[in-house]
Amino acid sequence: MLRALKLEPEKCTGCLQCEMACSFENEGIFNPAKSRIKVFTFHNEGRFAPYTCTQCAEAWCMQACPVDAIVVNPQTGAKDVRADVCVGCKVCTIACPFGTINYSQDTGKVIKCDLCGGDPACAKACPTAAITYVDADQTGYDRMRAWAAQTANTSRVQH
């Protein structure tokens, strides 16, 4: 069974341990700027939200790549960037509606979450379980349905 990252922003404290673990795992350096997971800060509210590639089923990044450098990893289901094929054109960065693919100045290639080959460093490093690695069918459909129902109920005009 495929697994996926489950992100729960309400548990995030903004400690950036996920960014540090990701950058070290993938780049060999503790540098949040080189992380493939980011923590968005809502300054006025004092809240944080981790985000990274959601490994979309239709993967616009993969479809947009003119050299087929983004492929599905059969073991993890992740959309992996083949650095040996990537030409650094950045078309995938434009195609991704979530902004989770980034261009690396160091390599001239794009980088994105590859689930660390099935053992995500970000999930292991998160002290509050705001990031967990779970069965893919447990990543938030129930939460999305609940939110949609709540929004639908509050947006109806009462006569």
> Hey, what amino acid is at 17?
Q
The number of distinct structural domains making up the chain is 2
Q: Would you say the C-alpha torsion 96, 29, 75, 144 has a positive or negative sign?
A: negative
Same-domain check for residues 105 and 144 = no
Give the pLDDT of residue 159: 46
CA distance 1 to 54: 17
Mean pLDDT within 125-144: 81
Average pLDDT of every residue of the chain: 90
Which uninterrupted H or E stretch holds 147? helix 141-155
Give the pLDDT of residue 2: 85
Q: 1-15, 75-89, 104-118, 141-155: lowest mean pLDDT where?
A: 141-155
Same-domain check for residues 123 and 159 = yes
> How many CB atoms are located within 10 Å of the residue 84 CB?
7
**pTM given for the model:** 0.83
Encode pLDDT of 137-154 as tens digits: 765 555 555 556 665 655
Encode pLDDT of 40-79 as tens digits: 999 899 899 999 999 999 999 999 999 999 999 999 999 9
Same-domain check for residues 81 and 101 = yes
With a cut of 80, say whether residue 32 has pLDDT above it: yes
Is residue 44 within 8 Å of residue 147, measured between CB atoms? no
Would you give the DSSP letter of residue 122?
H
> Hey, what amino acid is at 77?
G
Domain with 68, as residue range(s), is 55-111
Same-domain check for residues 15 and 42 = yes
CATH at 17 = 3.30.70.20
Same-domain check for residues 4 and 28 = yes
Q: For residue 101, what are its two tokens?
A: 């693919």
